[in-house]
Structures are given as structure tokens and as C-alpha cells.
A and B are shown apart, each in its own frame.
Chain A
Amino acid sequence: MNRKRSYAVIPAVLLVLSASLAACGGKNGAESSSSSSEPSAASATSPASGGSSAPASASPSAAASGKKVSIEYWQYEFPAKVELIDELIKQFEEKHPNIDVKQTNFPYDQYNQKVATLVPAGKGPDVINLYYGWLPKYVSSGYLQPLPEEAFPAADIEKEYFPFVQTAKLGGKYYALPTGVRTLALFYNKDLFAKAGLTQPPATWQELVDDAKKLTEKDANGQFVVEGFAWEPGSQLHHWFRDGLLYQAGGKDTSDDRRKLLWKDSPAGLEAFKYLVDFAKEHKVGINGVFNDDANAFKTGHAAINVDGSYRLGSLKDAPGLNYAIAPLPAYKDKSTQASFWANAIPSTVKGDKLEAAAEFLKFLTSPEVQEQWVEKTGELPAKQEVALQEKYANDEKLGPFISQLPYAKSHFFVDETQERTLFVEAVDQVLLKNVPVEKAFDELTEKTQKLYDEYWAKQDKK
């Protein structure tokens, strides 16, 4: 009897085992999707690395320096950028006949995953394009090397680039440099403004609130027809808080060594947080979860004002009926906006000839000529002051307001972008859904974010 029962358990265990395998689907599924495409990526990379490791393949036409060097460039799959890089590689190879550059791309949503899986496996690139918010993790993992000091002196970088690029300076050294950058600005619908009798975009905090109230339109049931101010904390508003409102209210994001959040060191933090929450809580000029999201609400003419990035310009092109304009973010005691960027870095495994070639390619990518091509083809703003502040860009109707904010733009030092964003959204939800006092929600937000920082730095200090 007993024995019989124990036999019966065997198929059960097997079933469970296979089921639990399937259960890991969330993780393993995602993993296997990356590993399934791994061979193709690996096979795509191998010819390049194979060619470089065999100096015998050097073409006789190579210059006096002798051997031909092959390097690989990685960036995420974004058609405009991929095409432009292909074009730039051609230009670069003409100038440097002994360097061969190959581009590899991954889809945006899998990019980090691919990089994280393939790089430790030693199938790495020689120049890699990374979101600046990921840099701390990559650097702390020992995966990147500082940019060669002789090719990229820190003093020159600080003179030529906008100040927020210093976010890429970790432990006193620069690890990455951008070609193009993006900032946040105010998108406003000119038709809706005219309808509400407004002629100018809001320039101050108070004006933004007043205008948003005038622009808001609700139906008999109290449902939004037009949001005065599109309000989606999880989209761009959390950036607006950290790099915009906080500084505008006279506060500061982190200490200079980036170990401590200073959100509570002055009243500015709470004031900024409350200002943001009140659009939904007090003024009721916008709310999350209507018209799908803020970008869609604005695009379809259901939101009069939206805080969004320069990257949105492209997607608004397919809304031809939308009569909109851009203005710098409204100011308070000070001016500020968020800047973010994808930057090019060199992995720590790159050495010798390849390192020289990689540095050469990076120099080319950050050169003023390339930055000009970049802004024209991708719509991203030039990272170097001399390029960006030229009249042809500064006076551009759409790009101008984004560019005019670059000199005072800030880039928050993310130790974990996803978690920091989630914490912010949760703090806002606490106030909105649970009626938690704003002060308490803000205290918790600061405390929990500081905890992420502490964990990050504890790991850093251990190394």
C-alpha cells in the first residue's frame, strides 16, 4: 500500500518539476530569448574579432603603421542612429584606412540584457553606447575603463561640454562621452492656448498652475475633455522632479561625492514634490491613466501642456493637425531642466592597438562635424557647447528651447533607474490613493532612495 503510494508520487514530482521549469518562464523565458539569439550575435561578432586577431590578414594597402585593426561598435537598434553610424563609419574609414569598424545592434528593450549577457562572456565590443544612467553599474562591475587621459583630458572635456556631462565622471575619471543629448521642455498646444485666451507659454511655476487651470476642460460628469497639464509621474515627471523642480526651488539633488541625497536638506525638496503632486491632488488639472498616457493625450489634442523630452519631436511628426510649440521649463527661484544622454565608452578588456583605434573612433564620434550631422539626422542635441550654441540651432523653432536650457541642465546620478522611478511613482500613489500626507510620503521616498544609494556605495567601498 505504502509502496504503491510512493510510486504514485513519482509522476507527480516529475510533473511538478517540469511545471516549475515552465514557471521560471518569466526569468528563464527572457533569458532563453536572449540566449537563443546569442549565437547569431556571437557569429556576427566572430568574423570581426577573428580578422583582427590574425595580423596576417592585414591588407597590403594598409598605411606605413602596418597592420589593420578591426574594432566593433555596439549601440541599440534605432533606425536613424543605425543608418547614421553606418554613414559615419564610412567617413571614418576613409580618414583611417587601417581601422575597420563594424556595427552591431540590439533592440532597445533587450539592449541592457544583451550587453549584460554577452559582455561577461567575452564577446564584447571595443566601443559601446550606453545610457548614462547605467554607467555606475557598469563601472562598479569593472566592465569599463577610464577614457585614455591623453586623448580625452578631463580639463578639455569640462571646458568643451555642457556641465551635466560630468555625471559620466566616476571616481574622478571620465568613462564615457556623448555625441548627442536630450533635455526636457514644455510642449504646449497653441490651438488650445488660443481657445483659452492665452498668448504666451507659462514661464514661472505660478503661471503654469494658472494656465493649466484655465486650459482644463471637463464634461458634465467631471471627466477630462482636455487636461490643462498632462500628468503621468512614471513618464517624465519623476525626471522633472529630480533635475528640474528640485533645483528650480533652490535645492540640490545629491552631495558632491554623490553619496547622500540632499532632498531634505532644504525645504526645496518637499516644496517641489508637493508642487508636482498638487497638479493632480489640489488643482485637478490632469491625472494619470487618461487617454492612455501623457504623450498620447498631448498628441491627440487632449492635453494642453506636457513636460516631455526632445526625443518626442520625432513621434509628433505623424500628428500633422497638431499645432504645438516648445518652451523652456517654467522657472521658480532658479532655472533647471533634466538632460539625459547615451554615451560612448570603452570596455576594460580593450587593449593595445584596438584601444588606440577605439579612442580614435571615439574622438571622431564626439567631433563637432559629427555632432552637427547627429543633430540633423537624429534630432538629438549637440553635447559640445560650441556646436549647440550656434545660431542655426539656438534659433530653431523646435530645437531652440531645448538647446537654450543646456547650459543649466542637470543629470541625476542614477544608482538604479528602474527602482528610483518606481519609488517615486509609489510615493505619489501613496498621496493620491491612500491619502498619506505629502510630508510623510516624501520622507519615505527620500529614505528609501537613500537606502538604494547606501547599498550601492557599500558595494563600491567593499571593492
Chain B
Amino acid sequence: MERASSVPAIAGRRRLGLRRAARFGYRTKRRAFICGGLLLPLLYFVGVRLYPILYSFDVSFREWELLSPEKPFVGLANYESLLGDPDFLRSVANTLYYVAAGVPAQLATGLAVALLLRRIGRLRGLYRAAYFIPYITSIVAVSWVFRWILMKNGVLNGLLLKLGLDAQPLLYSTSQAIHLVLATMVWQSVGFQMLVFLAGLENIPKEYEEAASIDGAGAWRRFFGVTLPLLRPVVLFSAVIAGIGYLQSFAQVLNMTSGGPLNSTSSIVLRVYDMAFKSFDMGRASAATVILFVLILALTLIQWKALNRKIEH
């Protein structure tokens, strides 16, 4: 009954719409279509992304035990307890190290590999694939392979001993472990970075470099004077993406060291995971994600300011 009555209504509306569209012309119609099309992902974004974030802000102000029926509002208590927790502060410091050392390392190695690969004529595809394969390999698998290589009587220590050096504690050392975990992360992302820079390099017209070379600029001069400035948008993009990636350091840490020894490798996300899913303390875990959110926001704005100066040729 209802349906029957609604059919002519829809038809009527549609007819009306058509007439109006005809009146407003093709341009308006197209704009309406585009807006309508864009609305769907926006709704999805708000519902699946934005709402959970705002929700986790709320959770962070509560004493929210996953199982407990009451979730009382406690103001900033979760933040206070986090900022007074040396283990959490250690994980923040570690995470900042992952970013500060990881981003430049990834960009530099990625760029170096891309520049070298551009010079190679033969077997280029093979080399590209070889560098790219780690990126598409499961992080857990990579972490475990490195863990085995780096265990106390693993391959690396075997090599060191063969060279007549002392065996090292590696992943079981509070001073060495964090660098090894970071190296694993960088190793795995070099392939992606290389690809981004290769694409960026393709976009630089050959004429610029040729002109510079005619003007008598050497290879270094050409690189720092021409290539690198023209790559700035790519560098910015990479720095933002890599920075966010290292701020989220998690899977390698969990699988290689679980944050140890003595918290020397733990990252913010690992702490969040432990608080939320081992201790079920969702309130504190959410507070930690909000802190991470602020860090990411700050980092991105800094990078934006520093690298997004107008490019002048």
C-alpha cells in the first residue's frame, strides 16, 4: 500500500528533477552528480573514521576498563598517570627516535638506490624487484627472520666471531636493540621509498640537468642545485608518510623484542596495545592514542612548514 503510493511520488520528483536539471543545464547536473558521488566517501569517512576518533577522545577521559560496567568520568587522570609513568615516557622517547633517525635514513637510502638504479641499463627490472620485495613481504615474517639472524647465537654473531670479533648481545642489549629494530624497519621500507623517488625523478625534465651541465655544473652541483630542489614535493610527501609510519612503529617491535629489554625498544603504539588488550585499560590506552594524535599533528605541521616553501625555478 505504502509502496504503491510512493512510486508515483518518486516518479514525480524525478520528473521534476529532470525538468529542473534541464532548466539549470548540463553543468549544474554534473556538479550535483560529483557532489553526490563525493558525499558517499565523506559519509563513510565520518562514520568509520571520524566518529571513532571522537569516541576515543571521550574514552580517554574515563576510567574505562573493557569489562567493567561503570565507566566513570575522571577528567585528566589518565593523562596524568601516563605522563607520570616512566615506561610510557620511555616509549615516547623511543618513538621520537624511530622518527628522527628513521625518516632521514629511509629517505637517504631510498634516494640513493633510486639514483643508482636510474643509471643501470641492464637488469633494471630485476634490481627494482629485489629492492621492492621486502616491502611487500609480511612484517611479521621479516621480523622473525631478523630475530633469528640477530639472536645471541644467530648468523650475525657467527659472522662476527669468524671475523675474530666478539659476539654481541644485539637484541638483548639495551643499547643495541633499538638501532637493530630501526634498521629492520628501514630495510623494509627502502623499496617503497625507491619507487617514489624513481617516479619523482622521471618527472624532472632532462633539459634542466643538461642545461646545468652545459653551464659547467659538476655532478654534485647538479644534484644539489637542480635535482634535489625539484624533488622537494616528493621529499615532502615521503617525509610526511614516513614520519607517520615511524610514529606508528609497532609490528617489528612486538615481534622482535616485545619492547624489551627493559623497555629500550617499546613504542607508543606497543604500549597502547598492551594497555588496551593485555590489561584491558581502555581509558589509559585511549589517552595514549590522543597523545600520539597530537604528536602526529605537530610533526606534520612542522614538516609542512619546513618543506612546503614555494618552489622557484
Contact = CB atoms under 8 A, between A and B. Distances in A.
11 contacts: A15-B240, A15-B300, A17-B50, A17-B53, A19-B240, A20-B53, A23-B269, A24-B52, A27-B276, A223-B153, A433-B173
Given A223-B153, A291-B153, A20 B67 contact: no
Given A30-B277, A289-B171, A292-B148, A24 B292 contact: yes
B279 A416 contact: yes
A20 B291 CA distance: 10
Nearest to A425: B260
A63 interface: no
Contacts of A221: 161, 167
Contacts of B262: 426, 429-430, 433-434
Contacts of B152: 287-290
By Cβ-Cβ distance, the 6 closest A-B pairs, closest first, are A26-B269, A141-B67, A418-B278, A20-B293, A16-B300, A19-B244
Contact of B67 (A120, A287, A289, A425): A120
Interface stretch (A87-95, A109-117, A191-199, A353-361): A109-117
Contacts of B297: 13, 16, 20
Interface string A409-453: 000000010110000011001100110000000000000000000
A23 B174 contact: no
A12 interface: yes
Contacts of A292: 147-148, 151
Contact of A25 (B167, B173, B250): B250
Contact of B296 (A19, A113, A119): A19
B132 interface: no
A116 B67 contact: yes
A interface SS class = helix
A335 B45 CA distance: 61
A275 interface: no
A138 interface: yes
Given A24-B56, A433-B261, 17 more contacts: A19-B240, A23-B247, A23-B289, A28-B52, A30-B273, A112-B280, A117-B66, A119-B67, A120-B69, A141-B65, A142-B69, A224-B153, A287-B152, A289-B172, A418-B278, A419-B279, A429-B260
Interface residues of A, number: 51
B275 to A, nearest CB: 9
Nearest to B258: A234
Interface in A1-34: 8-9, 12-13, 15-28, 30-31
A73 to B, nearest CB: 20
A221 B153 CA distance: 11
Given A20-B297, A28-B52, A12 B153 contact: no
Contacts of A16: 296-297, 300-301
A137 interface: yes
A324 interface: no
Contacts of B174: 429, 433-434
B279 A20 contact: no
> Which of A12, A26, A141 has the most CB atoms of chain B within a 10 A radius of its CB?
A26
A364 interface: no
B270 interface: yes
A30 B148 CA distance: 26
B221 interface: no
B285 to A, nearest CB: 6
Interface in B17-42: none
A458 B279 CA distance: 16
Contacts of B248: 22-23, 25-26
A422 to B, nearest CB: 8
A12 B304 contact: yes
A440 B66 CA distance: 35
B274 interface: yes
Contact of A143 (B67, B173, B300): B67
A142 B68 contact: yes
A351 to B, nearest CB: 17
Nearest to B53: A21
Contacts of A141: 65, 67-69
Nearest to B247: A23
A223 B240 contact: no
A120 B66 contact: yes
B272 A27 contact: yes
Contact of B292 (A12, A20, A112, A140): A20
A116 B280 contact: yes
B15 interface: no
A13 B300 CA distance: 9
A130 to B, nearest CB: 11
A438 B212 CA distance: 67
A423 B66 CA distance: 22
A281 B150 CA distance: 21
Contacts of B301: 9, 12, 16
Contacts of B308: 8
Given A27-B272, A113-B277, A19 B300 contact: yes
Interface string B61-104: 00001111100000000000000000000000000000000000
A30 B244 contact: no
A449 to B, nearest CB: 14
B172 A112 contact: no
Contacts of B67: 116, 119-120, 137-138, 141, 143
Nearest to B250: A26
Contacts of B272: 24, 26-27
B54 to A, nearest CB: 11
B49 interface: yes
Nearest to B157: A223
Contacts of A119: 67
A23 to B, nearest CB: 5
A355 B52 CA distance: 36
Nearest to A14: B45
A68 to B, nearest CB: 31
A61 to B, nearest CB: 40
Interface in B143-157: 147-148, 151-153, 157
A292 B167 CA distance: 16
Contacts of B285: 27
Nearest to B144: A292
A216 to B, nearest CB: 14
Contacts of A426: 260, 262-263
A31 to B, nearest CB: 8
B280 A137 contact: yes
A113 B67 CA distance: 10
A12 B174 CA distance: 37
Contacts of A26: 248, 250, 269-270, 272-273
> Which of A12, A13, A24, A292 has the most CB atoms of chain B within a 10 A radius of its CB?
A24
Contacts of A113: 277
Contacts of B53: 17, 20-21, 24
Contacts of B171: 289
